[in-house]
Structure 1
């Protein structure tokens, strides 16, 4: 489905959140920046974790060896997931203010998966397009071209 005039476009990853408004129409997308935010990415796993994962003794005759009982937590991924959840919360606030009728989401697979789980039902109802691609570092014309290519309907062939 083409992106209508005044549709909200969210371009998101685990570090950036960009909101655009389509000032064009269904035939010519013209994205204008409405808001943007970037997460401080200064922390590294080693700065966030305080201890090693738990260990369990291996069974059998060699019971003196130890190995992690569970996978080590990826704190960077947790931060990115929390950032995506903040974006879902912002969309919820906007939809409850009736800020948009149509929504297009552009996000990489992992972020899109987290976002979908967190979307408010009313936000879900207004999604007209989702594009599974990392675009937060790309210029606006590239984002517009991607959305156009993803939403272009198959034209009937002439006989």
Structure 2
């Protein structure tokens, strides 16, 4: 996969969010880390609808349900942040790399403009991996 110069890479899972930019050439990418915003995963209502088909967060929910809702809220917050960056023209080329579950969750929240700047989506969990490994996986 060719990765255009300047492309932003969002590496996401249910807990982590990392950003990189391709500072290299299209055929020889060099990912440089970008500052990742502190996102508040506050959109539990969207998480509840998307995951459990319930309408509101309940404090008495079992721990596994709470964990799933927190993961969904985190992924939703990432998608909303990416939408805002695309709409404000801060991102014009984007690759989203996320585990399949998180990627599916994010897709539900993509703005039409974000869909237009997507270079690729990669359904893999590469959060916490070195940049060189990310590039290697994307080139295979």
Counterpart of 2:110?
Answer: 119
| TM-score with structure 1 setting the length | 0.70
Structural mapping, 1:80-159, within 5 Å = 80-149=71-140
Shift in Å at residue 39 of structure 1? 7.8
| Counterparts in 2 of 1:87 and 1:16: CA distance versus 1, 3 Å | same
The match for 2:2 is 2
2:60 aligned residue (44, 50, 66): 50
**Counterpart of 2:18?**
18
Displacement of 1:51: 6.2
- Cα RMSD (Å) of the superposition? 2.3
1:36 positional shift = 2.8
| Aligned structure 1 segments of 4 or more residues deviating by more than 3 angstroms | 37-40
TM-score by length of 2: 0.79
Deviation at 1:13, TM superposition (A): 0.4
Q: 1:51 to 1:19 in 2, by over 3 A?
A: closer
Of residues 18-27 and 29-38 in structure 1, the stretch that sits farther from structure 2 once superposed is 29-38
For structure 1, the 5+ residue unaligned runs are 41-47, 53-71, 150-159
**Structure with the bigger percentage of strand:** 1
Unaligned runs of 5+ in 2: 41-57
| Kept in 1: contact 2:103–2:123 (CA 8 A) | yes
Q: How many residues align?
A: 123
More helix by share: 2
> Which entry has the higher C-alpha Rg, 1 or 2?
1
